[in-house]
Structure 1
Amino acid sequence: MAGQIQGKFAAVTGAASGIGWASAKAMLDEGATVVLVDRDAAALDKVCQGYPDRAKPLVIDLLDTQACKALVGEILALTGGTLDIFHANAGLYVGGDLVDADPDAIDRMLQLNVNVVMKNVRDVIKHMSPRKTGDIVVTSSLAAHYPTPWEPVYASSKWAIDCFVQTTRRQVFKDGLRVGSVSPGPVITALLSDWPEDKLAEAKVSGSLIDPVEIGEIIIFMLTRPRGMTIRDVVVMPTNFDL
């Protein structure tokens, strides 16, 4: 049923591709005005073309500390001062053996996957709490629930952010805010380019990959429950994941 979040104002980080674009598109198709946040200006312009009035591109590199601090203010400037839905989705991936990982890549990934999410959500809460309503969704991962042996750095970042989501949710529900996460197994996105080649080949052969569109549909389900119900965490995996 189209129009389930008609008139709402939303923002999605990492919105130019993958899960971020699937989430933003699902919200746009349901009637929301969406600020699409990404550092790739060309990709943002391309995906926003089909929604000239309600898709609002915002080019920001969230790994830039000052730009990260300015995010919520920039979003509110584009929405007329209102933000009903925030999807913290932007992230990086580091896989493989820990001893082979580049320390600088570890720093970048932890900064974006953990620190940036915490700071963005903090600033969003400061806007939403006085209004006594709002939804915050964070992209976590199946790796937050299972100690995946070929991705100790990535999995650790998602275990951390899963704890953050659950503890923050318990702080802010009194203000009418809902905070939840979606934890997919392997999704067909650019992050898979960093997967170990043998693991990626196995996943393709066994049909163990998820289309991002499925995650967009799950997010709409989370957002459209009655206000007295919070979908705390959705763990979703391909049926063949355990093959």
Structure 2
Amino acid sequence: MTGKFDGKVAAITGGASGIGLATAEALLAEGATVVLVDRDAAALRALTERHGAACIAQVTDLLDADSCNAMVPQILDKTGRIDILHCNAGTYIGGDLAETDPATIDRMLNLNVNAVMKNVHAVIPHMTARGSGDIMVTCSVAGHSAIPWEPVYSGSKWAITCFVQTMRRQLMKHGIRVGQVSPGPVISALLADWPEENLRKAKENGALIEPSEVADAVVFALSRPRNVTIRDMIVLPSNFDI
């Protein structure tokens, strides 16, 4: 522990598991106060008990408009500031588009795209007033390559890549850095919808990475000097062929 983030407050959506939790634990180890944002109140309660006062629970359902809109004001009421917003929450749809129902498409786009845009929109006035801040978004290698077995998911991540890079240009004049991390397949619940054969081959070939390995990339990007922006980090398993 070197205290790279002493005095900093980070808010992480989807913070109760996977990449969000791994990033939270990495930032806590470096001295940050971390607000875990998730809809799973029981998981948040257990995590805050485990990690102590520097770990703060924020129960938010990003698919509920009122809950989503209240997220940033509620975090500011608890902490007084947000230095880092990591928009990490997301969901996954795989398979042929014809096999997906419209309600599932709506849910995924609302979480993967709309919630990210709304969370960023909500934090801009606070960060602009302070003249500083970091916004990090969990994207995917699917936002850089058209993956044939996940057209809806891939489409959502292409949208996020565009959004992040346009917001980076809009906000840099206010001292706000905006970037994304784009992992390949990560061992997490999101892989449950992968085609069984693809998942089996990935496991056998070592073509999966751990959430902590993505968290390492996020911490690297956030810890750069203020004159350096890491606009995107693509983090792949060495044996992943895309």
Render the CA deviation track for 1:46-67: whole Å, top value 9, x for unaligned: 2222221100011111100011
Instruction: Find the aligned partners of 1:148 and 1:3 in 2 and give their Cα distance.
Output: 39
Render the CA deviation track for 1:127-157: whole Å, top value 9, x for unaligned: 1011110000000000001111000000000
- Which structure 2 residue ranges, 5 or more long, are not aligned? none
In structure 1, the partner of 2:178 is: 179
Instruction: Find the aligned partners of 1:30 and 1:107 in 2 and give their Cα distance.
Output: 37
Number of corresponding residues: 242
Seq. identity, %: 60
Give the secondary structure class of the aligned counterpart of 1:15. coil
Give the secondary structure class of the aligned counterpart of 2:230. coil
Instruction: Find the aligned partners of 1:179 and 1:129 in 2 and give their Cα distance.
Output: 13
TM-score for the superposition, normalised by structure 2: 0.98
In structure 1, the partner of 2:113 is: 114
What displacement does 1:21 show? 0.3
Instruction: Find the aligned partners of 2:22 and 2:196 in 1 and give their Cα distance.
Output: 25
CA contact (8 A) 1:38 1:61 kept: yes
Q: Which amino acid aligns with 1:40?
A: D
What displacement does 1:45 show? 1.8
What displacement does 1:2 show? 2.4
Give the secondary structure class of the aligned counterpart of 1:181. strand
In structure 1, the partner of 2:190 is: 191
- Which structure 1 residue ranges, 5 or more long, are not aligned? none
In structure 1, the partner of 2:13 is: 13
In structure 1, the partner of 2:151 is: 152
The range that moved more, 228-237 or 39-48, is 39-48
Note the aligned Cα RMSD (angstroms).
1.0
Alignment of 1:214 with 2:213, yes or no, is yes
1:64-143 aligned within 5 A: 64-79=64-79, 81-143=80-142
What displacement does 1:216 show? 1.1
CA contact (8 A) 1:36 1:56 kept: yes
TM-score for the superposition, normalised by structure 1: 0.98
Instruction: Find the aligned partners of 1:195 and 1:46 in 2 and give their Cα distance.
Output: 29
CA contact (8 A) 1:35 1:78 kept: no
Q: Which amino acid aligns with 1:41?
A: A
